[in-house]
Structure 1
Amino acid sequence: MSGRKHNLPLDALIFDMDGVLVDVSASYRQAIIQTVNRFFDTGLALDYDGEPVSLLDAEDVDALKLAGGFNNDWDLTRAFIIYFLEMLPPLPMPTFPLRRHVAAILAYLQVARGGHLPVTMNLLRQNKDIPRLARRVQAAGGGLPAIERVLTQRNRHLIETGDNLLKGNLIQRIFQELYLGATLFEKVYGEKAVIAQTEGFIHNETLLIAPDVLATLAAELQLGIATGRPRLEAEYTLDRLGVSDFFQSLVTHDDIVAAGAEGKPAPWSLLEAARRLHPTPARSAYVGDTPDDIRAAKAASQTVPFLAIGVLAAAADKTALQRHFEAAGADIILSHPNRLPDILFRSA
């Protein structure tokens, strides 16, 4: 310990990774945007009317994420694809049996598409209204369950469900190939990438919080992480960025699934990250970048003392995020995670 005086009675800080420790604006966010594009321009072979366009912008991703219930970026990507599928005319269901590998699924989509569609990528982009979708989803409770309530089942047969991206989950397959890149995808899944032959968006990730800030925090408090990332992706990025040693606990998507628990805004991952610290902290805080992070911390505080700290740094619309943080009951709102020592400590 450095002898700094604490402004708040805390023993531990638990961090979200994305948008707090790591800048993912050029990785996960781009993986969402490009997966949606690939599903429609490669999978369904929709044409462009002039210059190629992206169906989504960063602001669209943030808007739907703020609706709540999308701690998992695979779910968020699926929600966008369901939305755009509803904007297409009804497409027939192919009569041949579907084989669950990528080439067969792509062929299935091509047959379902049939001949010329009177819809282009540019028209889909022009007709979208993501802010309206986000409002409807938020009013319906957030997440994929809300998507099911507010959207129809039109063209839903074009989406293969299930958790196994090697056997039918095309959305997750495209996402992981784009995010990990061809080399890392093959290393992780033991199968060659089919859709993306690029390096992978994961290599675009940079630290959002400064290493010296982490060093200052680690000298005073126990540090842990509760993230919705798969463990391999979390460990790979923490190691590559050289900050793994600052953290004494790491709870990931894999742990949530193994425990049969729910992801954020449920509090399990936060409480588990704190429980794995030694000694177990009496008072903790969670630092996150979404309203669901704040809700998770408030829920955790019903079990043990937990403060909710919101960070605005990664948001495309910081004013909107601040309003959502306030509505969710954030105890502290910071412009950037580098301000944590200024809020938590003072010189002895």
Structure 2
Amino acid sequence: MTQQSQLLVSAIVVFDIDGVVRDVSNSYRRAIADTVEHFTQGAYRPSLADIDVLKSEGIWNNDWEASQELIYRYFEGQGQQRNSLALDYQEIVRFFQSRYRGSDPENWTGYICNEPLLLQSHYLNELSSVGIAWGFFSGATRGSANYVLEKRLGLQSPVLVAMEDAPSKPDPTGLIATVQKLTNNFLDNCTSVVYVGDTVADMYTVEKARSLAPNRAWIGVGVLPPHVQASRQRRDAYAQTLKVAGAKVVFDNVQELTPREIQKLL
């Protein structure tokens, strides 16, 4: 942060992590499907499209809660009332984590170990070199976020607001807190903020931040997660959903948001 703060910062870019920095279609989303399948006794395994439909509602950023909601909705479809179901949320969390992190809490062996990276550290260095400050606001746990940022990407103590630090999106508290950490009294209150995310909740977060801190320009940028790019129809539909939710522009990959593209948005 010291090197960044000494530069003439032209903008602040805050990145979501899941679906932006790393591909979670075969990790987090696979863990959701495993969890729902387990707690419905094998009767229902949601597809990636099913999970996208739920997340398009803009309020299911927490994947543990999303898993629980899909379980509830399955049983409601079978004529049962959710208040009659004996679901244990902590058991849902434990099962999910056993798939995502693995059964050993110290040495992770789960799906997290095989997440493809969607961003490389040289891209962040390029942003820094032209005076663009950057950080991360994610609904992932701090342990999971640091695993990819520090262990995989090699970043040294990056600015990060994670699940434990703020309410779940679309509440903008975490986004605003990330910006406050980045500014650290070096930037004025009018520096534009770009938030890069892959879900409707991310775009709603930008809208809510704009209403709470109207002195800044808050710009939502959408990124298409890899799993929706398998077909043109699905890709276009997902991009349109993000634009309707507030994305000013949508990219296939986060690294397409170059300094030149950022300048165009300001």
TM-score, length basis structure 1: 0.64
- 1:273-328 CA distance string (max 9 Å, x none): 01001424622110000111111112212303221111114352322221212212
- 1:58-106 CA distance string (max 9 Å, x none): 111112111220110011100111122234476xxxxxxxxxxxxxxxx
User: 2-side partners of 1:243 and 1:332: how far apart?
Assistant: 29
User: 1-side partners of 2:83 and 2:178: how far apart?
Assistant: 41
User: 1-side partners of 2:204 and 2:255: how far apart?
Assistant: 22
Larger radius of gyration between Structure 1 and Structure 2: 1
Partner of 1:311: 223
Partner of 2:180: 275
Q: Closer, same or farther in 2 for the Cα pair 1:253/1:280, shift >3 Å?
A: farther
**Aligned 8 A contact 1:206 1:241 in 2:** no
AA at the equivalent of 2:163 = H
Q: Closer, same or farther in 2 for the Cα pair 1:335/1:274, shift >3 Å?
A: same
User: 2-side partners of 1:345 and 1:215: how far apart?
Assistant: 17
AA at the equivalent of 1:267 = P
User: 2-side partners of 1:308 and 1:318: how far apart?
Assistant: 18
Paired residues for 1:175-186 under 5 Å: 175-183=96-104, 185=105
Paired residues for 1:180-195 under 5 Å: 180-183=101-104, 185=105, 187=106
Q: Secondary structure at the match of 1:56?
A: coil
- Counterpart check, 1:84 vs 2:74: yes
**Of 234, 258, 261, which aligns to 1:343?**
261
Q: Secondary structure at the match of 1:266?
A: coil
Q: Secondary structure at the match of 1:22?
A: coil
User: 2-side partners of 1:200 and 1:11: how far apart?
Assistant: 37
What is the identity percentage for the equivalent residue pairs of Structure 1 and Structure 2?
29
AA at the equivalent of 1:344 = I
Partner of 1:239: 150
User: 2-side partners of 1:254 and 1:68: how far apart?
Assistant: 20
Offset at residue 206 of structure 1 (A): 2.1
Offset at residue 254 of structure 1 (A): 0.6
CA root-mean-square deviation: 2.5
- Counterpart check, 1:159 vs 2:87: yes
Offset at residue 212 of structure 1 (A): 2.6
- Counterpart check, 1:230 vs 2:147: no
Partner of 2:168: 263
**Of 245, 251, 258, which aligns to 2:161?**
251
Paired residues for 1:50-89 under 5 Å: 55-88=45-78
Offset at residue 211 of structure 1 (A): 3.0
AA at the equivalent of 1:180 = R
Paired residues for 1:1-348 under 5 Å: 10-41=10-41, 55-88=45-78, 152-153=81-82, 155-156=84-85, 158-161=86-89, 169-183=90-104, 185=105, 187=106, 199-220=109-130, 221-245=132-156, 248-256=158-166, 262-277=167-182, 278=184, 279-280=186-187, 282-302=191-211, 303=213, 304-316=216-228, 317-341=234-258, 342-344=260-262
User: 1-side partners of 2:99 and 2:87: how far apart?
Assistant: 18
User: 1-side partners of 2:162 and 2:194: how far apart?
Assistant: 18
AA at the equivalent of 1:159 = L
Structure 1 runs not aligned, ≥5 long: 48-53, 91-151, 162-168, 189-197, 257-261
**Aligned 8 A contact 1:17 1:225 in 2:** yes
Structure 2 runs not aligned, ≥5 long: 229-233
- 1:21-80 CA distance string (max 9 Å, x none): 111111101110111122233xxxx58xxxxxx622111111211122011001110011
User: 2-side partners of 1:218 and 1:206: how far apart?
Assistant: 24
TM-score, length basis structure 2: 0.83
Q: Secondary structure at the match of 2:20?
A: coil
- 1:101-151 CA distance string (max 9 Å, x none): xxxxxxxxxxxxxxxxxxxxxxxxxxxxxxxxxxxxxxxxxxxxxxxxxxx
User: 1-side partners of 2:17 and 2:187: how far apart?
Assistant: 21
